[in-house]
Amino acid sequence: EDVQARTITEDGRIFMEKAARDGLETVWDRYRAQQPQCGFCELGLSCRNCSMGPCRIDPFGEGPQRGVCGADADIIVARNLGRMIAAGSASHSDHGRDLVEVLRKVGEGKAPGYGIRSEEKLRKLASELGVSEDGQSVEALAVAVAEALEEEFGTRKKALAFVGRVPEKRRRIWEKLGITPRGIDRETSEMMHRTHMGVDNDWKSLLLHGLRNALSDGWGGSLIATEVSDILFGIPQPVASEVNLRVLKEDQVNIVLHGHNPIVSEMIFQAAQDPELMGLAEEKGARGINLAGLCCTGNELLMRRGIPMAGNHLMTELALSTGLIDMMLVDYQCIMPALGETARCYHTRMVSTSDKAKYPFMEHREFHPENARDLARDLVREAVENFVRRIPAKVLSPPGAPVKMMAGFSVEAIVSALGGSAGPLIDAIKSGAIQGAVGVVGCNNPKIRHDYGHVTLTTRLIENDVLVVDTGCAAVAHAKAGLKVPEAAEKAGPGLRQVCRALGIPPVLHMGSCVDNVRIFDLAAALAHALGTDISDLPLAAAAPEWYSEKAVSIACYAVASGVYTVLGTPPPIFGSQNIVKLLTEDLEGLLGASFAVEPDPARAADLILERIRAKRAALGL
Ligand code: BF8
Ligand code: SF4
């Protein structure tokens, strides 16, 4: 298969060929080996929830129409989708919980090296959670806020505290449908319960709970992950950086950070500044210690520290094939289990760091708040020592230079770029200079030409004066395509171009990692508040052109439940039930003011979104 057909990126093509020369198997090879993939599973029509099965429903109506228990296509598709949401929500939320644990330990003085970077945000959360600040030291307040956040995960809730950020009209909709999220873990646990054989066998009721489960992620677990990261590591501010495999340096010690949680990577960042370790690197003949990111741990470091990005999800194996990575540290999520074995072809040390995520052919060095600072220093030292073990015959330095980019657009940073309030943004939307705003988010997936979905859709949107905000692997795709520099305003339509020039910002704003999608919804809620309306009334949309992950399913569901029309590129496994397809793509509109669309062609996805934005503007009288 032609490498051109697999990716639009130059570094991707070069290193796909290098990987093949080195005899490596990549995600694309394994994808091809899986063809044809199971048609029942693609349609969502297979079930293995119990041991009377596994069962399959014949989509052509000739074979069995019920599983052994009697479940039909609607029930099976709804249960499967529900479990995808539960897994995605659990992943984001458990990541959030790990940060709460560090916050508590910081307050207790048991997390050397960590601290409170944003007291302002700590106090904001305290007030939202009803934690009194009277006479409390910052440390005591951190413990009290951590305790209150722990309670959000529990069961005795009418509604999550952060539901208070949502416009009144939206809260009413949730109440009416019975989907106001209660405890974060409760909703996931209840989803697992409902989808056990013989519990919830009404597909509509299953899907409604799926929305509640997703909302417990968006306005719960993910939100906590983002806000507590800001407290511990600082609120992102605009920062310049670079992207693609060329950020790996032949003459420096390269340490790559991959995964999602900033707890480990922030300590590595500190250790890499240590003069003694920098001296050691020089002794070994290196010109410095170079950190680079992959996936969302990379995005977290990029947003707050300007650390460059080596690539997104489908580039993780190819990054290893440079032969330039002296150590790769992983935490959890989206780390292909193939990576450890791939790295054995090179000198790269692969290190797993989380007590809940181990991988074949990786060394396990477990980080806890108590030992993180010391362990980070040990690992950076070991990476430096590994520099001399590079195998020259296997090294290929990526030719050319990295692409420049800007990141760090937290809501706080956007508001400050606008001069202190969302007013100028609202004015620009009202005047039509900016037609609307769209979150283009999510993953890469070998089913779609790498980065093609993101870049095609986003280019089309900005040409039509639509501001794009992004997160996750989509953001990295846009950065590689050069869309995240102020000069990219040239590629925007005349209205958006003018706004970007006036503010010195790119037309595509990097808002962070995938848990940071909550920043997008915070901004949407703020705009709705300012206009005295609901999120669903605004000229907004979301898209995940190349999604693969269960987390993305949860995100898409909380987006729609929050009132944002969402277009998916990769088809979700729902097409085995026409009832469910109709509910999700049509009927939800009447219930939630937003629905899903599935459109694999990104150019057509852009048309759907532009049409939506025009309709919303017309309804607002704009
Ligand atoms: O949380 S975009 S491939 S790295 S799941 Fe994974 Fe998807 Fe990338 Fe980040 Ni998000
Ligand atoms: Fe089959 Fe029903 Fe068991 Fe699923 S729950 S495997 S459909 S018997």
Task: Find the CATH number of the domain harbouring 279.
Answer: 3.40.50.2030
Is the CB of 552 inside a 6 Å radius of any atom of ligand 1? Answer: yes
Task: Establish if 401 belongs to a structural domain.
Answer: no
Number of domains in the chain: 4
Containing structural domain, residue 324: 245-394
Give yes or no for a contact between 374 and 393, defined as CB atoms under 8 angstroms apart.
Answer: no
Q: What is the pLDDT of residues 23-79, one digit of tens each?
A: 999 999 999 999 999 999 999 999 999 999 999 999 999 999 999 999 999 999 999
Task: Establish if 402 belongs to a structural domain.
Answer: no
Distance of CA 602 to CAs 13, 233, 550, Å?
Answer: 21, 36, 21
Distance of CA 427 to CAs 415, 418, 434, 498, Å?
Answer: 13, 11, 9, 13
pLDDT of residue 224: 98
Which residues face 290 on adjacent strands?
Answer: 254
pLDDT of residue 157: 79
Residue type, 357: A
57 C-alpha to center of ligand 2: Å?
11
Asked if residue 353 and residue 278 are part of one domain, the reply reads: yes
Asked if residue 537 and residue 429 are part of one domain, the reply reads: yes
Task: Establish if 128 belongs to a structural domain.
Answer: yes
Task: Establish if 68 belongs to a structural domain.
Answer: no
Which helix or strand (DSSP H or E) is residue 171 part of? helix 168-177
Asked if residue 226 and residue 77 are part of one domain, the reply reads: yes
Closest by CA to 565, choosing from 618, 616, 522, is 616
Is the CB of 64 inside a 6 Å radius of any atom of ligand 2? Answer: no
Tell me which residue has its CA closest to atom 1 in ligand 2.
53
Is the CB of 129 inside a 6 Å radius of any atom of ligand 2? Answer: no
Which of 205, 233, 261 marks a domain boundary? Answer: 233
Tell me which residue has its CA closest to atom 3 in ligand 1.
443
pLDDT of residue 481: 98
Asked if residue 540 and residue 466 are part of one domain, the reply reads: yes
Contacts of 207 (CB under 8 A, 6+ apart): 78, 81, 82, 580, 583, 584
Residue 602: cis peptide before it, omega within 30 degrees of 0: no
Which helix or strand (DSSP H or E) is residue 463 part of? helix 452-463
* 332/84 Cα distance (integer angstroms): 18
**3-class DSSP state of 55:** strand
15 C-alpha to center of ligand 1: Å?
21
Residue 471: nearest ligand to its CA? 1
pLDDT of residue 369: 96
Task: Establish if 239 belongs to a structural domain.
Answer: no
Give yes or no for a contact between 462 and 496, defined as CB atoms under 8 angstroms apart.
Answer: yes
Structure tokens at 149: 């956040």
Asked if residue 574 and residue 451 are part of one domain, the reply reads: yes
Choose which residue among 46, 52, 56, 192 to substitute to test ligand 2 binding: the one with the highest number of ligand atoms within 8 A of its C-beta: 52
488 C-alpha to center of ligand 1: Å?
25
Is the CB of 44 inside a 6 Å radius of any atom of ligand 1? Answer: no
51 C-alpha to center of ligand 2: Å?
7
Asked if residue 476 and residue 444 are part of one domain, the reply reads: yes
Q: What is the pLDDT of residues 224-251, one digit of tens each?
A: 999 999 999 999 999 999 999 999 999 9
Residue with tokens 């048609």: 39
Is the CB of 72 inside a 6 Å radius of any atom of ligand 2? Answer: no
Is the CB of 473 inside a 6 Å radius of any atom of ligand 1? Answer: yes
Closest by CA to 315, choosing from 358, 258, 359, 253, is 258
The DSSP string of 270-322 is HHHT-HHHHHHHHHTT-S-EEEEEEHHHHHHHHHHH---EEE-GGGHHHHHTT
Task: Establish if 62 belongs to a structural domain.
Answer: no
Within a 10 A sphere around the Cβ of 49, how many other Cβ atoms?
A: 18
> Which parts of the chain sit beneath pLDDT 70?
1
Residue type, 461: L
pLDDT of residue 597: 98
Which of 233, 257, 275 marks a domain boundary? Answer: 233
259 C-alpha to center of ligand 1: Å?
9
223 C-alpha to center of ligand 1: Å?
16
The order of strands in the sheet holding 436-440 is 508-510, 466-470, 436-440, 540-544, 566-568, 596-598
Report the nearest atom of ligand 1 relative to the CA of 295: 4
Residue 442: nearest ligand to its CA? 1
Instruction: For this complex, say whether ipTM is above 0.95.
Output: yes
